[in-house]
């Protein structure tokens, strides 16, 4: 067993190295690469990914997995060995089920579709992407087919992002969520809108970056194992447990952009930085799902970073950093500004309350497209109708309608959006559980102390990496399966107070 | 032939991709990587290098090379196909001759030696590295043995840096060079020393970087296919012909540091940026040797960048950038300062005239160590004696004596230094040839126009990449084999005038 297990681990480490080398090439592409590097970078990434895929589908790896499984299982279901084997097997099977030729064709289709989308969106030209998008729907369905049988054709696609989460259970959660959010948005938008003009004064870039970094440090982000750079779209990426980086985007006329994207990405990074170091270079050394990842970023961004206790403590410091811009702005005005709810067209700019509705409509469209009950040609009209009914705004064009998100144009159709809403649900459920364990949390947060909260998250979530499934984490950390109740209660309490409902 | 040739090219491209991915990992390590990334980065680099080595030694690649060779040769010795096959075969044979186990042991030895050297140098503790350095000499000799028969044991090690250049011919060139440099240094150091205090005023970092960038741009460095970052030691690196980066180091109390390292690295980068674009992703897409590379960096740094015509044109701009620091400094004083010759201990800080002597003593020591006529234990004393006789200064300790250069502590002993001096010789011979073709060069350089010079270099040197050997380039571009005459004439003329000899 020992020699075989070591062999297994060194093969998995090699795969891990290739994957993280590719991640660095992508980080560089988004941060510092000169434009002349583009063509070769695409080829270099394809090479690394092809070799990584070949390593994962090497029959010798599958054989080794089979060989070590009995001994690993004897160590107990929760043992490192058993979990490693289970997770590695899942990765290997996923890589092996899909024929290499299909993988290549699928990647090529999406590269072409993405390229076309980058021009079609500014030109508001849905017709230019429709045929390839239809092909993407077809190939996404074919991809799912390699994992048959399944309860729903979207299940294998969702599983890529949120392992073991089924379409049916998401549908049930989202029906509840939608049923509650639509009237909540109605009620809020009947109230007087908050004044957010204080966020749109001139905020120098360097000062914004300094404020964001300082808060990330207080949250516990370890700068000796990370760094922050500027990119067009903020993201978190990891090259090892000792090198977890975040990026942000700064707008001098919008204080909220860099600030909240920094708290959000720092939330993702805190998760990865706190995974059990002994998992390094194995497939366990990663967040367990997109949904759980999003729960961590949203928890720090929203549950903490847009809360009243937090700003009671931090707002005087923010005013000191921006005396000319915020000196005359009260805490109450600022707090209302950063929590302003409004009907809007763009998901990524949406507030906490409307956000879920943006996600649910995309999730529903994905299912209809995959099921065949919605044709790609009918998507623009369906989008307009649903935005009007759910969000209360009608997109004047497709640019800010069904062309707005990159997801369906560079990834599969299916599984692309649910994580954002699942993460929001989990963020409230996790925060609730932490609060039950530590009723002093709001006072600590107000005092600028985040250690109790972070330690609770590390112990209950972060440290486990992929060794626990999302369901195991939620149940283990909160005592209940995932539910909409904590999140809806959070929204109703917070926004009820804010908007006098 | 066609299908086989395409297969060959795609295998070579894959190797190229792995090599350049590794180069990016190294660039990141030197520029932006947080300290926590170190451990995993070492493992990731080892993985990429192991896979690249396996690709190059894949018997199928050697078989393909054999198969396409007759057809490639029929296209003529100077054809792309023939050159590609010749260069690829050289790389494949070099990778194949050395057993994989030896490669691993050699890398490990040097990693340990390097680690020990980083502590031994500041502690001035030669004894701490001596046993492993002796082992490095042994293993360097063993490495050479894999390429037997040879004229001299150093030949295979020199060939790694300067292909096809033999120990015997370097010895002959260096004997001439040393014979001329020792008395030249004597004569210069009897004259009154130049005053370099103007270089040591306070120069703000951002202004220094701006000045360096502007000159690099004028030389022709293409920033859409490159960028400059700060590192501990300046270097040039390439990830594709469209992405050739340079780094520099800034000292606010030494104007010459960032300025001349930028011109130097830009010279390297101009070479790589101008290689025939059709060579991309093949082993031809690289400078042909370390010596030729150094000729390009030294040509722009010294033949151009420390010349009187250049500063006649540029000095008013430099004064305008630093009015408080240089407003009261005449062109003559500045020109003398940047060309000050002095006996000194450290190679990397040496001037143009003494530099060659630093290199030659190292080259001679390498030969003696490999031949066994010098024992590692006797190196410190031999260094002191040679520095005293050739350079006229005696190192007070090993820190600034035989421990000063990293080369023997992280690379093989043998072949590590000759390129620096060969590059100086070539830089003068190339510049002379360009001047014969374009007598207007000094006037153009004074006017800030570098296109004629750059075009001559591109046409005669850069564009050919590795498709021509160093000897072919020198002969083709200058009409003569490599000689010390142009370089010695350059030094005698320039420094004769500067020091009134």
For A334-339, the CB contacts below 8 A with 24+ separation are A334/A198, A335/A308, A335/A311, A336/A194, A336/A195, A336/A196, A336/A498, A337/A194, A337/A195, A337/A196, A337/A197, A337/A198, A337/A199, A338/A196, A338/A199, A338/A256, A338/A260, A338/A306, A338/A311, A339/A194, A339/A306, A339/A494, A339/A495, A339/A498
Q: Do A243 and B44 touch (CB under 8 A)?
A: no
Q: Assess contact for A84 and A72: CB atoms under 8 A.
A: yes
* Cα distance between residue B256 and residue B87, in whole Å: 38
* Active-site choice (A196, A257, A265, A272): A265
Can you count the helices (H) and strands (E) in chain A? Answer: 22, 3
Quick check: pTM over 0.90?
yes
To the nearest whole Å, the CA of B230 is away from the closest chain A CA by 13
Residues of B in contact with A33 (CB under 8 A): 243
Query: A314-323, long-range: CB within 8 Å, 24+ apart, which pairs?
Result: A314/A215, A314/A448, A317/A214, A318/A211, A321/A207, A321/A210, A321/A211, A322/A203, A322/A207, A322/A255
Q: How far apart are CA A339 and CA A495, in angstroms?
A: 8
- Per DSSP bridges, beta strands B243-248 and B236-240 are antiparallel
Question: A130 phi and psi, to 5 degrees?
Answer: -55, -45
Tell if the CB–CB gap between A32 and B229 is shorter than 8 Å.
Answer: yes
B48 inside 8 A of chain A by CB = yes
Of A401, A387, A475, A379, the residue nearest A433 (C-alpha):
A475
In sequence order, which residues have a C-beta less than 8 Å from that of residue A425 and are 6 or more positions away? A173, A177, A295, A482, A483, A484, A486, A487
Position A451 pLDDT exceeds 70: yes
Q: What is the pLDDT of residues A210-223, one digit of tens each?
A: 999 999 999 999 99
Tell me how far apart the alpha carbons of residues B311 and B445 are, in angstroms, rounded to a whole number.
9
* Cα-based distances in Å from B33 to A37, A117, A161, A224, A228: 20, 33, 28, 9, 11
Neighbours of B91 (CB within 10 A): 15
pLDDT grade for B400, boundaries at 50, 70 and 90 = very high
Distance between CA atoms of A252 and A250, rounded to whole angstroms? 6
Shortest CA gap B51–chain A (Å): 9
Residue of chain A nearest B244, judged by CA positions: A37
Interface confidence, given as ipTM, is 0.94
Query: Residues B305, B446: one domain?
Result: yes
Q: Which pLDDT band, with edges at 50, 70 and 90, does A324 fall under? A: very high
Contact: B18, A47; criterion CB under 8 Å = yes
Within an 8 Å CB–CB cutoff, is residue A54 touching chain B?
no
On whether the CB atoms of residues B457 and B477 are closer than 8 A, the answer is no
Q: Are residues B207 and B290 in the same domain?
A: yes
Is residue A65, in this structure, part of any structural domain at all? Answer: yes
User: Which of B9, B18, B34, B217 should be substituted to probe chain A, the one whose Cβ sees the most A Cβ atoms within 10 Å?
Assistant: B34
Per-window interface: B 222-251 vs A, CB < 8 A: 222-227, 229, 239-243, 245
Q: Which residue of B has its CA nearest to A31?
A: B32
Gap between the Cα atoms of A208 and A256, Å rounded:
9
Q: Kindly state whether residues B108 and B230 are assigned to the same domain.
A: no
Whether A34 sits inside 8 A of B229 (CB atoms) is: no
Using 50, 70 and 90 to split pLDDT, how confident is the model at B365?
Answer: very high
Question: Is some CB atom of chain B closer than 8 A to the CB atom of A346?
Answer: no
CA distance A269 to A296: 9
- Choosing from B196, B257, B265, B352, which is the catalytic residue? B265
Q: How many domains does chain B have?
A: 2
Q: What is the predicted pLDDT for the residue at B445?
A: 98
Contact A47 B222 (CB under 8 A): no
Q: Based on the fold, state whether residues B106 and B230 are members of the same structural domain.
A: no
Residue B237: its H or E element: strand B236-240
Give me the phi and psi of A114, to 5 degrees please. -60, -45
Q: Which of B21, B34, B48 sits opposite A223 (nearest CB)?
A: B34
pLDDT of the residue at A395: 96
What value does the mean pLDDT take over residues B370-397?
A: 97
The stretch B380-395 carries a mean pLDDT of 96
Q: Are strands A236-240 and B228-230 parallel, antiparallel or unpaired?
A: unpaired
Identify the band that residue B100 occupies on the pLDDT scale cut at 50, 70 and 90: confident
User: Considering the domain boundaries, does residue B132 fall inside one?
Assistant: yes
B40 touches chain A (CB under 8 A): yes
Is pLDDT of A464 > 80?
Answer: yes
**What residues 204-223 of chain B have any CB closer than 8 A to a CB of chain A?**
222-223
Question: What's the whole-number mean pLDDT along residues B178-201?
Answer: 95
- Respond yes or no on whether the N-terminal peptide bond of residue B149 is cis (omega within 30° of 0): yes
- Collapsing DSSP states into helix, strand and coil, what is residue B246? strand
Average pLDDT of the residues in B203-224: 98
Nearest CA in chain A to B24: A25
**8 Å CB contact between B41 and A20:** no
- How far apart are the C-alpha atoms of B102 and A430, rounded to whole Å? 53
* Residue A1 predicted with pLDDT over 80: no
Contact B37 A281 (CB under 8 A): no
| CATH number of the structural domain spanning residue B121 | 1.20.58
Predicted pLDDT at A100: 85
B231 contacts in chain A (CB < 8 Å): none
How far apart are alpha carbons A338 and B197 in whole angstroms? 56
The whole-angstrom distance between B324's CA and the closest CA on chain A is 28
Order of strands across the sheet that contains B243-248 = B228-230, B243-248, B236-240
Interface test with B, best of A240, A275, A282, A285 (most B CBs within 10 A): A240
Judgement on whether residues B55 and B128 belong to the same structural domain of the protein: yes
Mean pLDDT across the stretch A354-382?
A: 98
- CB contact under 8 Å between A38 and B229, yes or no, is no
Please, what's the largest Cα pairwise distance for chain A? Answer: 69
Cross-chain CB nearest to A47 (options B14, B43, B245) = B14
Whether residue B492 is contained in a domain is answered as no
Based on the fold, state whether residues B12 and B133 are members of the same structural domain. Answer: yes
> In chain A, which among 293-332 make CB contacts under 8 A with chain B?
none
Nearest CA in chain B to A228: B32
Distance from C-alpha of A258 to C-alpha of A234, rounded to nearest angstrom? 9
Distance CA B332, CA A280 (A): 60
Note the helical H segments in A32-99.
38-56, 59-74, 80-97
3-class secondary structure, B230 = strand
Q: Are B432 and B457 in contact (CB under 8 A)?
A: no
Question: CB of B58 within 8 Å of any CB in chain A?
Answer: no
- pLDDT at residue B1 above 90? no
Q: Which residues, at least 6 apart from A51, have a Cβ–Cβ distance to it below 8 Å?
A: A18, B14, B18, B51
Q: How far apart are CA A69 and CA B204, in angstroms?
A: 62
Mean pLDDT of chain A: 96
Output the pLDDT for position B431.
Answer: 98
Q: B229 has which bridge partners?
A: B247
Say if the Cβ atoms of A242 and B40 lie within 8 Å: yes
CA B90, B91, B92, B94 torsion-angle sign: positive
Report CA Rg, chain B: 23
Q: What is the pLDDT of residues B429-485, one digit of tens each?
A: 999 999 999 999 999 999 999 999 999 999 999 999 999 999 999 999 999 999 999
Chain A residues with CB-CB distance to B51 below 8 A: 14, 18, 51
Name which of A37, A42, A239, A275 to mutate to probe chain B: the one with the most chain B Cβ atoms within 10 A of its Cβ. A37
Instruction: Let me know the angle formed at the C-alpha of A27 by A26 and A28, rounded to the nearest 5 degrees.
Output: 90
State which residues form the domain around B107: 2-149
Residue B490 has pLDDT above 80, yes or no: yes
Chain B residues in contact with A226 by the CB 8 A cut-off are 34, 36
Tokens of A368: 């209809």
A18 in contact with B, Cβ within 8 Å: yes
Tell me the pLDDT band of A104, cut-offs 50, 70 and 90. Answer: confident
Contact A44 B20 (CB under 8 A): yes
**Are B123 and B13 within one domain?**
yes
Inter-chain residue contact A34 with B242, CB threshold 8 Å: yes
Is A37 close to B241, i.e. CB distance below 8 A? no
pLDDT of residue A219: 98
B202 and B141 together in one domain: no
- Residue closest to A418 by CA, chosen among A293, A251, A285, A287: A293
Both B213 and B269 in one domain: the answer is: yes
- CB-CB under 8 Å, B41 with A239: yes
Residue A399 forms contact with B (CB below 8 Å): no
In a domain, A185, yes or no: no
Q: B26: which chain A residues are within 8 Å (Cβ-Cβ)?
A: none
Whether A471 has its CB under 8 Å from any CB of chain B: the answer is no
Q: How much of chain A exceeds pLDDT 70, in percent?
A: 100
Is the domain of B117 the same as that of B38? Answer: yes
Cβ neighbours of B412 (radius 10 Å): 24
**pLDDT tops 90 at residue B104:** no
- CA distances (Å), A130 to each of A111, A379, A447, in order? 15, 9, 53
Cis ω before A149 (30° cut-off from 0): yes
Q: Residue B198 — pLDDT band, cuts 50, 70, 90?
A: very high
User: Based on the domain organization, do B248 and B338 belong to the same domain?
Assistant: yes
Distance CA B115, CA B109 (A): 10
CA atoms of B290 and B375, how far apart (whole Å): 28
A93 classed as catalytic: no
The alpha-carbon gap from B290 to the nearest alpha carbon of chain A, in Å, equals: 24
Distance CA A57, CA A13 (A): 14
CB contact under 8 A, B40 and A14: no
Average pLDDT rounded to a whole number, residues A54-62: 96
**Facing B37 at nearest CB: one of A39, A48, A242:** A242
| Cα separation, A477 vs A480, whole angstroms | 8
| Domain co-membership, B133 together with B63 | yes
Please check the confidence at residue B310 and state whether its pLDDT lies above 90. yes
Are B242 and A32 within 8 A, CB to CB?
A: no
Contact criterion met (CB < 8 Å) for B34 and A239: no
What is the C-alpha R_g of chain A?
A: 23
A-B C-beta contacts closer than 8 Å: 128
Output the DSSP codes for B138-177.
HHHHHHHHTT-S-SSTTHHHHHHHSTT--HHHHHHHHHHH
Taking the CA of residue B149 and the nearest CA in chain A, the distance in Å comes to 37
**Cβ burial, residue B362 (10 Å; 0-12/13-18/19+):** buried
């Amino acid at each position: 067993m020992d020699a075989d297990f070591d062999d297994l681990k060194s093969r998995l480490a090699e795969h891990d190295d290739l994957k993280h080398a590719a991640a660095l090439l992508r980080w560089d592409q988004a941060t510092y690469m000169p434009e002349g590097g583009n063509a070769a970078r695409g080829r270099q990434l394809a090479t690394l990914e092809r070799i990584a895929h070949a390593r994962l589908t090497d029959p010798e790896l599958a054989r080794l997995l089979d060989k070590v499984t009995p001994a690993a299982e004897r160590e107990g279901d929760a043992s490192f060995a058993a979990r490693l084997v289970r997770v590695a097997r899942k990765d290997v099977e996923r890589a092996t089920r899909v024929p290499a030729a299909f993988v290549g064709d699928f990647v090529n289709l999406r590269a072409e579709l993405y390229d076309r989308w980058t021009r079609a969106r500014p030109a508001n030209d849905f017709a230019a992407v429709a045929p390839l998008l239809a092909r993407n729907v077809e190939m996404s369905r074919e991809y799912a087919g390699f994992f048959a049988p399944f309860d729903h054709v979207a299940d294998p696609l969702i599983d890529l992002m949120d392992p073991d989460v089924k379409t049916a259970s998401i549908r049930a959660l989202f029906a509840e969520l939608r049923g509650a959010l639509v009237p909540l948005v109605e009620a809020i938008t009947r109230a007087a809108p908050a004044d957010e003009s204080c966020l749109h004064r001139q905020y120098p870039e360097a000062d914004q970056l300094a404020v964001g970094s300082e808060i990330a440090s207080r949250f516990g982000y370890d700068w000796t194992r990370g760094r922050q750079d500027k990119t067009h779209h903020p993201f978190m990426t990891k090259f090892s447990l000792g090198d977890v980086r975040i990026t942000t985007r700064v707008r001098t006329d919008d204080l909220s952009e860099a600030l909240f994207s920094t708290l959000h990405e720092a939330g993702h990074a805190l998760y990865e930085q706190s995974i059990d170091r002994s998992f390094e270079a194995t497939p366990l050394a990663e967040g367990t799902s997109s949904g759980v990842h999003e729960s961590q970023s949203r928890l720090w961004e929203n549950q903490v970073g847009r809360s009243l206790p937090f700003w009671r403590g931090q707002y005087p410091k923010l005013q000191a950093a921006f005396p000319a811009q915020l000196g005359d702005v009260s805490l109450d005005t600022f707090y209302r500004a950063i929590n302003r709810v409004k009907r809007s067209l763009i998901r990524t700019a949406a507030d906490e309350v409307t956000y879920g509705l943006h996600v649910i409509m995309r999730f529903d469209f994905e299912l209809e497209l995959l099921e065949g009950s919605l044709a790609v040609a009918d998507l623009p009209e369906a989008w307009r109708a649903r935005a009007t009914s759910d969000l209360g705004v009608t997109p004047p064009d497709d640019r800010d309608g069904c062309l707005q998100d990159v997801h369906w144009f560079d990834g599969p159709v299916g599984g692309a959006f649910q994580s954002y809403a699942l993460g929001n649900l989990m963020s409230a459920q996790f925060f609730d559980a932490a609060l039950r364990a530590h009723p002093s949390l709001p006072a600590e947060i107000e005092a600028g102390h985040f250690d109790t909260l972070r330690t609770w998250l590390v112990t209950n979530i972060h440290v486990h990496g992929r060794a626990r499934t999302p369901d195991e984490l939620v149940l283990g950390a909160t005592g209940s399966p995932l539910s909409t109740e904590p999140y809806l209660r959070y929204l109703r309490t917070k926004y009820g107070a804010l908007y006098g409902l």
